[in-house]
Amino acid sequence: MTPILIASDHGGFALKEKLKPFLNKIGLKVKDLGPFDDERCDYPEFAYALADKISKGKFKRGILICKSGIGNSIVANRLPGVRAALSYNVKAAKLSRRHNDSNVLVLGSIFVRPDLAKRIVRVWLNTKFEGGRHKRRLAQIREIERKIRGGRK
């Protein structure tokens, strides 16, 4: 089974719990980074935990869920090599893979109900990176990350 990470905050907990059996059913081994209940918690802790594993190459893909998805996107995209895509619809998820080779899907539980979330996830998982002109742009992103890590001059 292909592994995938998943994490949320309290606002995304219910949707996360609905997605886990779906991910298992379509053949993915889910590694849940928490939280493990719906008690109030801080999203940066969970978004960082997931994005750090993606950034270090320990996992290839992950899914983050909070109420709006915005906070998780901000945190995850701070780490090098992470391309987190906030997607409220199937088309955005598909384009995030085709054009940006996104490796973290971010969902907002107040905008995406479970049935739509499953469709978004399925499309995101099954869409291939297009390459071509988009490869050049990803190289530019990697160069920006290199400059940031090396300090500004």
- Which residue matches tokens 């893909």? 61
Say how many CA atoms lie within 13 Å of 63 toward its Cβ: 31
The residues annotated with a catalytic role in the active site are 66, 99
